Amino acid sequence: MNSLTGKTVFAGIAIGRIKLHKKETGVVRRYKISDIPTELKRLETALDKTDGELEALYNKALSEVGESGADIFDVHRMMLKDQDYLDSINNIISGEKVNAEFAVAVTADNFAKMFSSMEDEYFKARAADIKDISERLISVLKGGAGADEASSEPVILAAEDLSPSETVQLDKSKILAFVTKYGSSNSHTAILARTMNIPALIGVDFDEEQTDGAQAIVDGIKGKLIIDPDGETLEKYKKLKQEEEEKARLLLEMKGKETVTKSGRKIRLYSNIGGTGDLPAVLENDAEGIGLFRSEFLYLEKDNYPTEEEQFDVYKTVVQAMAGKLVIIRTLDIGADKQIGYFDLEKEDNPAMGYRAIRICLDRPEIFKTQLRALYRASAYGNIGIMFPMIISVDEVKKIKEIAESVRAGLKADGISIGSVELGVMIETPAAVMISDDLAKEVDFFSIGTNDLTQYTLAIDRQNRRLDNIYDPHHPAILKMIKTVVDNAHKHDTWVGICGELGADLSLTETFVKMGIDELSVSPNFILPLRKTIINMQ
């Protein structure tokens, strides 16, 4: 038995086998073969399995993001069966007497170069597709799972770290817990773990060879990873896990109840989500709306800018699923720790304070208008609020409103139906706090992003693990800022919510209610504990 320590980012207990998540190196070994028919048969088997994976991914994407988002997997299936592609692989295996993996890699390189050299943009884009299907095929030939394939049983996922784009592709139903060597308590892996309601540890210095496939316990309460536990330890944790599940069962009694204090104060409890895959958890936990839809994940999942139609399909799906409940969608918020290659953002010395979020949208209005058109079109199918991040001036808000109004006018001129939309801004910079009295005159609501507000106010990079010990969201300056924002907003009948991680901090719930906060938006699993706390308040 080996016990390792780490830092908890979400409490709870998980028991299961560890699966090591390794980043692909892209290196394919070349070796000679003597039995060509057997190698060709191995390739044929791998092709069938890869095609099955792509079909499964198509069905999964169809249910989560709609037909337009799933079409790419149909394209990949057709490319996998392309006769020129298959002939090239077969000829290299037979002519050079080499392994199938190497033949696929050479073919992929050749075809990608050919597509990249074409002038037609459609065919240029196929270069990335051919690389994608070839990497999947190589992974299957190597005996791996293939990209995005789920384990046959739920696992504890161990990794050095996970990028935002990797986390959104994981099969969440097959993950018992996260354990990473690096990352911080405010990283996207940590936020995902909280959204999924599963235990997660960071800063665990595990040995990869000893860890992969081992039976283990993740103790997200005490911050421990126990590898190969003995019988007594295993039984103790099974009992603890049952007790935790019983507590969760009791919380279900809160479902369906109105979130009102004993004195009659009503608080709106909304959920934070990253995509349609989070909707089941939102509905299961009885959220009263969605207070933060992180739309940037639509961009992180793509190899190119998502089209208006692709975005519209996703937004429409969410608002329809919420059946009239308010859905607040944050406009594109990339930069800092969320980098997207096709945006071609220059490297910055201090990206957290650099070219990001609304600054990119106002600088590249064609991207911004595409998203706004999709949002306004979706508003005809439900109740939408649009929220703009990283605001520092009234001028920015006026410019945003001008662009939004031009988009609305354009849609109406085209005869496209749109609904009533609330406009709001995120309060996540000290500047926005200081001018909140003026900002409140321009918008319908504020949402306080406590993660960035804490970072900027305390001058602490929230991705820097070395500073975790002094990253203090309870700092008096933060709480005073929140109170200032609430007071300024209410003077102008502007309502105020909190969508940062601090909203789920039960030790501050009563403080926020007394301050006058109107809404709390948190990961779905925090809805019921928060409701119980608020209902028991005076």
Predicted confidence (pLDDT) per residue in 290-308, tens digit: 999 999 888 887 888 999 9
Same domain, 302 and 446: yes
Active site residue 361: no
pLDDT of residue 366: 94
CA distance linking residue 538 with residue 534, whole number of Å: 8
> Is 16 within a domain?
yes
For 22-41, how does the pLDDT look when each residue is reduced to its tens digit (9 = 90+)?
A: 765 557 889 999 999 999 99
CA distance linking residue 444 with residue 421, whole number of Å: 10
Same domain, 216 and 76: no
For 66-83, how does the pLDDT look when each residue is reduced to its tens digit (9 = 90+)?
A: 565 567 778 888 999 999
> Across the chain, which distance is largest between two alpha carbons, in Å?
82
- What residues contact 100, with CB distance under 8 A and at least 6 apart? 39, 40, 42, 43, 46, 89, 93, 141
> Is 181 within a domain?
yes
The number of distinct structural domains making up the chain is: 3
For 315-348, how does the pLDDT look when each residue is reduced to its tens digit (9 = 90+)?
A: 999 999 999 999 999 999 877 666 777 787 888 7
Q: What is the mean pLDDT of the chain?
A: 87
Catalytic residue among 188, 361, 490, 492: 188
Q: Are 347 and 289 in contact (CB under 8 A)?
A: no
Q: Is residue 248 over pLDDT 50?
A: yes
Question: Is the pTM of the predicted complex or chain greater than 0.85?
Answer: no
Catalytic residue among 21, 76, 361, 499: 499
Same domain, 361 and 495: yes
3 state SS of 330:
strand
Same domain, 350 and 441: yes
Q: Is residue 392 over pLDDT 90?
A: yes
Q: Is residue 149 over pLDDT 50?
A: no
Range of the domain at 69: 36-141
Same domain, 444 and 321: yes
Residue 165 confidence class, pLDDT cut points 50, 70, 90: very low
Same domain, 223 and 319: no
pLDDT of residue 60: 67
CA distance linking residue 236 with residue 419, whole number of Å: 55
Q: Is residue 387 over pLDDT 80?
A: yes
CB atoms inside a 10 Å sphere around CB 146: 21
